[in-house]
């Protein structure tokens, strides 16, 4: 089944088979240091190495302050690495790229714009006011179950609906890569589960490459092909686990014994780190 969303350009070639697909994102010996206002240096990321294949869904979990957002911002071109490299399709990321869409925890919609104009923003900033763009925005909204809300304003929408609008906005330029920083963190459990299902549907139909940060281990396992576990101070990758649960997955997947085993495995890695911290 294919997503019936009008595209702005020719559809890309069919996705390559997932095994043997090329590495779309390469992170090599990545370090990030921040100088704080008081002059201290904070080592946010240390020696991060990760390769992400085209069409892969990567979940990232780790304790607060371990550098997840920093990593995502570097991939988004919003932050520069102190050393090492982060590349998309072999090119060093030095600025935001049109083939990378970003969704943050807060929907950050413009309150004075309608839902439709918020979704159209990325193309309107380029001076594109074409009917094709409008059609794509409307089909994205319809795909996300918001077809009737195009003319409403953000304040007239629930938090979950606003977050769906921000996902539509990130998809407007048909990015190959979707970077998501705790996009459902502020939502209630039921809305969150529903959006998890919608995100899986979107990913399976549009075959994006997704990097998804979450504080929820079950969410990370439900959605991910692999789960990257990060450890704090300085943030580094402590483990990368493959989720060997076949797709399609649904909320029922969470009742499988294997699902529980993988969640426990991740929790124990977390635990080991945390106990070390406490013991110190």
Q: How far is the CB of 24 from Mg ion (least distance, A)?
A: 23
3-state secondary structure of 266: helix
Alpha-carbon span 143 to 164, nearest angstrom: 10
Interface mask toward ligand ATP for 29-68; x: CB under 6 A:
-----x-x-----x-x-----------------x-xxxxx
Question: Is residue 274 a contact residue for ligand ATP (CB under 6 A)?
Answer: no
Binding partner selected for residue 36 from ligand ATP, Mg ion, none, CB under the kind-specific 5 to 8 Å limit:
ligand ATP
Q: 75 or 116, CB closer to ligand ATP?
A: 75
Span 70-99, contacts to ligand ATP by CB under 6 A: 70
Question: Is residue 183 a contact residue for ligand ATP (CB under 6 A)?
Answer: no
Alpha-carbon span 89 to 84, nearest angstrom: 16
Joined together, the tokens standing for residue 131 give 């009917």
The torsion of the CA quartet 205, 209, 214, 218, rounded to 10 degrees, works out to 50
Q: 77 or 154, CB closer to ligand ATP?
A: 77
Sign of CA dihedral 180, 185, 186, 190: positive
Q: 44 or 241, CB closer to Mg ion?
A: 44
Phi-psi region of 94 (alpha: psi -120 to 50; beta: other; left: phi over 0): alpha
Q: How far is the CB of 78 from ligand ATP (least distance, A)?
A: 11
Span from 66-74, 106-114, 157-165, 243-251 in contact with Mg ion (CB under 5 A): 66-74
If residue 237 lies in a helix (H) or strand (E), which one and from where to where? strand 236-242
DSSP code of residue 174: -
Count CB atoms within 10 A of the CB of residue 251: 11
Q: 135 or 239, CB closer to ligand ATP?
A: 239
Query: Do residues 58 and 210 lie in contact, with contact meaning Cβ atoms separated by under 8 Å?
Result: yes
Q: 66 or 119, CB closer to ligand ATP?
A: 66
Query: Do residues 257 and 242 lie in contact, with contact meaning Cβ atoms separated by under 8 Å?
Result: no
Q: 206 or 273, CB closer to ligand ATP?
A: 273
Question: Is residue 208 a contact residue for ligand ATP (CB under 6 A)?
Answer: no
Question: Is residue 69 a contact residue for Mg ion (CB under 5 A)?
Answer: yes
Positions in the binding site for ligand ATP (CB under 6 A):
34, 36, 42, 44, 62, 64-70
């Amino acid at each position: 089944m294919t997503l019936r969303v009008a595209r702005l350009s020719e559809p890309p070639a069919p996705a390559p088979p997932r095994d043997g697909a090329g590495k779309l994102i390469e992170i090599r010996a990545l370090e990030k240091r921040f100088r704080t206002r008081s002059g201290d240096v904070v080592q946010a990321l240390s020696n991060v190495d990760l390769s992400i294949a085209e069409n892969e869904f990567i979940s990232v979990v780790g304790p607060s302050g371990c550098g997840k957002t920093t990593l995502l911002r570097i991939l988004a071109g919003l932050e520069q690495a102190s050393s090492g490299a982060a590349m998309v399709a072999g090119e060093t990321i030095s600025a935001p790229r049109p083939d990378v869409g970003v969704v943050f925890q807060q929907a950050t919609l413009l309150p004075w714009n309608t839902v439709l104009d918020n979704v159209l923003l990325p193309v309107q900033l380029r001076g594109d006011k074409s009917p094709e763009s409008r059609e794509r925005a409307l089909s994205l909204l319809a795909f996300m179950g918001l077809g009737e809300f195009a003319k409403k304003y953000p304040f007239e929408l629930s938090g979950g609906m606003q977050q769906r609008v921000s996902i539509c906005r990130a998809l407007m330029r048909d990015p190959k890569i979707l970077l998501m920083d705790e996009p459902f963190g502020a939502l209630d459990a039921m809305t969150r589960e529903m959006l998890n299902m919608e995100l899986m549907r979107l990913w399976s139909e549009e075959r994006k490459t997704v990097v998804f940060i979450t504080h929820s281990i079950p969410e990370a396992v439900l959605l991910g092909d692999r789960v990257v576990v990060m450890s704090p101070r300085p943030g580094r990758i402590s483990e990368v686990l493959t989720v060997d649960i076949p797709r399609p997955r649904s909320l029922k997947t969470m009742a499988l014994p294997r699902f529980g085993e993988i969640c426990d495995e991740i929790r124990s890695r977390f635990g080991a780190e945390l106990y070390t911290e406490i013991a110190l």
